Amino acid sequence: MKRFFTRHSMAGLALVLTAMQASADPMPGCYMRIYDEAHLAAQPQQWVEGISMWIQPDQINDFMRAASMSVLKRDAAPTDQILMMAVTCRDGDGGLTICTSWCGNDAIEITSSDAQGLTFRTGRFIVSPGAECSGGRDLAEAPGQATAYRLDKVEDGLCG
């Protein structure tokens, strides 16, 4: 298995997570999912090979926590593998944390978080190569259909 993220590839964009509801309040640390070959073979339409989210241990203020998110593209050239996107998150309806893209109306919803990991879903969320808003890919696998991602809590050193 190839190494997913290095400290250099993770040091990038900041996103802000609002920690208002216990059910979706992300715990600080590293969250990651790398899909194995069997999963990817069974899901040929899935372009995401792996995803990570580093949630900083220190809060920015009473309601915000800095984090970084990176996505590894499946079958991409080494220079074109990592995509990222900065977002701002807030308390949403039903105890969810809603994170919206700075580039438009894209959003992810953090639906749960516990000591084992976190889950988020999206119907449209573009991640891009660098700070620009163009040239990215949608984390939703099909237009208009929600896609959920479960990231496992892993050793902090894998992200930061």
Confidence of residue 117 (pLDDT cuts 50, 70, 90): very high
Q: What is the mean pLDDT of the chain?
A: 75
Question: Is residue 80 pLDDT above 50, yes or no?
Answer: yes
Write the pLDDT tens digit of every residue in 95-108: 777 777 777 778 88
Q: In the numeric block, which tokens belong to residue 130?
A: 């660098």
- For residues 122 and 34, give the distance between their C-alpha atoms in angstroms, rounded to a whole number: 18
When pLDDT is averaged across residues 55-63 and rounded to a whole number, the result is 67
pTM reported for the whole predicted model: 0.75
Task: Tell me the domain boundaries of the chain.
Answer: 7-158
Confidence of residue 131 (pLDDT cuts 50, 70, 90): low
pLDDT at 24: 62
Helix, strand, coil fractions of the chain, as percent rounded to 5:
10, 50, 40
Q: Are 17 and 99 in contact (CB under 8 A)?
A: yes
- Residue 58: pLDDT band (50, 70, 90) is low
3-state secondary structure of 54: strand
